[in-house]
Structure 1
Amino acid sequence: MRILFMGTPDIAAHCLEALYGAGHTLCGVFTRQDKPVGRKQVLTAPPVKQVAMAHGTPVFQPVTLRDEAVQAQIRALEPEIIVVVAYGRILPPEVLAIPPRGCINLHVSLLPKYRGAAPVQWAVLNGDAETGVTIMKLDEGLDTGDILLVRPAPIGPEETSGELFDRITALGAETLLDALARFDELTPVPQDHAAATLAPPLRKEMAHFDFDADAAHLHNLVRGMNPWPVAFFEYGGKKIKVLASRVAEGSAQPGTILALKPFTVACASGALQLLQVVPEGGKPMEGSAWAAGRRFKAGDSL
C-alpha cells in the first residue's frame, strides 16, 4: 500500500523503520516541528524526521492539519492509507476523508482502557499486570475509533515505564505490520465507550511522595515515574529521587527507618526498600550507601 505516515517520537521512528523494512511505499512523512534539546538548546529534528530523511522520503512539519493548503499537500501525495503513531495531533475530518482505505493508529494500551497521552505510564502507576497494543481506525475522537487488532503484553512486578515502553515499542511495530498485511481480513470492532478510561500526560508535581501511603502504591509510583519525571521524597530540604524500589514487610510509623541494608522505610501499610536513589545534585547510588552517608540507624525517621 501507498502509505502516508504521521508520527514524532522514538516509538513512531521504530514503526517507520519497520514499514521501510517490510517494503511498503512511503509517499510522505508528517511530523512535529524541530525543537531545542539539551542544556545548549540545540535545534533537533524529531526521530521520525531523521528516519524519513535517511530514506529520502519527503518530510512535512505543518503547525496544523486544519490548513487547507496542508490538506491539499496530503491529497497531492495520493496516499491509499494514513498510518499514525504518536503524532501528537488529532486528524480533522477533512484529512480523515482523504485516503480511500482510511486512517489507522497504533495505541499502546488495550483500548478502551487508557485513552490519551501516557497509557504505558498509567498502566504501571496503577499496578496493572497486563497492557498491550491496539491498532484502530481513526475517527474524530481521542482514541475512540473501531478496533482492528489487539496484542496483549504482561507487565513485570518490578518493571518500570521505560522498560515496558521498550518492549511495547517492538510489539507495536510487529502488530502494525501484521495489521497492514491482513488489512482486508480484519473486521472493525466498536469500542465499549462505557468502559473507557483516560491516561493524561504526567506532571512533575505528581512525582513527589511521602511515606504515609501504602508501600505497593509507592512502589508503583517509583516504577511509573521512571524515566520521567522520577519519583522523589524530600529530606533536609533536598529532593531525593528514587529510581528503583521493592515492597517489603514491616510495620512502624510511616517514615521510620526499619533497616539499612537494604535501606527500608515503613509506610502506611508495609514497607518500601529504596534500592537506588539520586540525591539532589548527585549521581545515582544504592539507597543503603545514601543512608550510610547520612549516618542513619534503625528507628530514625525521614
Structure 2
Amino acid sequence: MEGRPRALFLGMQGSFSLPSLHALLESGIEVCAVVLPGDQGLSSNQMPIYRREPAHPARSTLPVLNSSLDSSIVQLAWQRKIPLWQVHRLSDPVTVSTLTAYQPDVISVACFSQRIPRAILEIAPLGCLNVHPSLLPANRGPLPLFWTFRLGCKQTGVTIHFMDEGMDSGDILAQQAIPVTDGMSYAQLELESARIGGNLLCHTIWKLYEGSAISLPQDENKSSYHGFPGDEDFVVPVAEWDAAHVYNFICGVAEWSGPVTLNVGNEHITVQKAISYSRNNMCDIPSKNYCWRGEALWIRCKRGWVAVIQPITFQ
C-alpha cells in the first residue's frame, strides 16, 4: 500500500501509554485521534463521548524553560493538534460513529481501562492491536508487571497482539523478551516495557500495512490469567520463597503500591525497602528467624537471607 497508515490511539495518562504514542508519531504513522477512558458510571443523559479541548492560559511575559508539553498523551495530542476524545460508553452508537468517521487503518491500544466491544474492534480494516507487557499467553490480565514480581519471574517481555473480545487472547504478531534484573523497580520495568512496546508496535503496524505481517494463535495450554492483586498478594511467606525472590518482590512493588508484609514464623513484619540478600547464614543463633546487623534487619528465607531497613513494623 502507498502512503502511510492511519492509527486511532487508545490510551491513558499513566506512564505506559505515552511512549507508544510518541513512537507512532516519530515513525511516520498518522495518528488521526487519541481516545481516553472516562467514567463508565455516568447517567444516561450525559454524552457517551466528548471532545477535550486545551485550556487557554493567560499569556506569560516570561520565557518557558524545560516545557513539559508532551509529558502525557493529553499534552502530546494537543501539542501535535491531534483530536482528543474522552469516552464514557464505548459501545454507544454515538461513540462508534464518531470514531468510525476517522477511517483509521488500524487501532492501537496501550493501556486502556475499558473493555473494547466488537463494534469498535471492527472499525479498522487492519484490526485492533494491543501492547501487552508480558510474553503472552502467560500473565494475561490488567496488571501483568505486578505478577511478574509476585511469581519471581527472571524474564518477562512485551507482546503485540490482535485484540478480540477475550482478555489478551488474540493472535500474536510480535514479541520481545525483557530480563528482570535484581533490584529492578516496578517503574523501571514499566518504562522499559513501554519503550520496547512502542517500537514494536510501530514496526508491526508498518508490516501489517505493507502486507508482510504474520500472526500466530496463542497456545491455550500455556495460558495464565491474573486479576487485580488483593491484600493477600502483598503478603510474603518467607519460609516458602528464596531470598532473591523476596528481595526482588519488595524492590519491585513496595514503592509502587505500599508496604509488603513478611510472614516470619508467627510474626508479621511490614517493610517498605529491601537493600540486599545473601545465600550465606547471616545470624549466629541457628534458631533465630531474623537478626539485626547495623541498621539492617536480616530475615531468614527458604534459601538465604534478605536485608530490609526502616521503616519496619512488627505485628
User: In which range does the TM-score fall when normalised by the shorter chain?
Assistant: 0.7 to 0.9
Count of aligned pairs = 270
Deviation at 1:48, TM superposition (A): 2.2
Contact kept? 2:130, 2:161, Cα under 8 Å? yes
Taking the TM superposition and a 5 Å limit, the aligned residue runs for 1:94-243 are 94-183=119-208, 184-209=211-236, 211-214=238-241, 215-233=243-261, 239-243=270-274
Larger RCO of the pair (alpha carbons < 8 Å, separation 6+): 2
Residues 3-28 of structure 1: CA deviation (Å, up to 9, x unaligned)? 10001122111110111122221111
Which of 267, 270, 284 matches 2:301?
Answer: 267
1:26 aligned onto 2:31 = yes
Residues 96-122 of structure 1: CA deviation (Å, up to 9, x unaligned)? 111111111111111000101111221
Contact kept? 1:126, 1:220, Cα under 8 Å? no
Deviation at 1:231, TM superposition (A): 3.6
Deviation at 1:160, TM superposition (A): 2.5
2:19 is aligned to 14
SS of equivalent to 1:145:
coil
SS of equivalent to 2:77:
helix
User: 1:108 and 1:238, CA in 2 relative to 1: closer, same or farther beyond 3 A?
Assistant: closer
Contact kept? 2:107, 2:127, Cα under 8 Å? yes
- 93-102 or 205-214, which deviates more: 205-214
SS of equivalent to 1:122:
helix
- When the two structures are superposed, what TM-score results if normalisation uses the length of structure 1? 0.79
Residues 149-177 of structure 1: CA deviation (Å, up to 9, x unaligned)? 11111111332222222211211111112
User: 1:56 and 1:99, CA in 2 relative to 1: closer, same or farther beyond 3 A?
Assistant: same
State the alpha-carbon separation in 1 of the partners of residues 10 and 18 from structure 2: 10
User: 1:53 and 1:67, CA in 2 relative to 1: closer, same or farther beyond 3 A?
Assistant: same
Identity %: 25
- When the two structures are superposed, what TM-score results if normalisation uses the length of structure 2? 0.76
Where does structure 1 lack aligned partners over 5 or more consecutive residues?
35-45, 281-300
Contact kept? 2:15, 2:191, Cα under 8 Å? no
User: 1:84 and 1:237, CA in 2 relative to 1: closer, same or farther beyond 3 A?
Assistant: closer
State the alpha-carbon separation in 2 of the partners of residues 260 and 61 from structure 1: 53
1:175 is matched by which residue type in structure 2? L
Contact kept? 2:135, 2:177, Cα under 8 Å? yes
1:249 aligned onto 2:280 = yes
User: 1:242 and 1:209, CA in 2 relative to 1: closer, same or farther beyond 3 A?
Assistant: farther
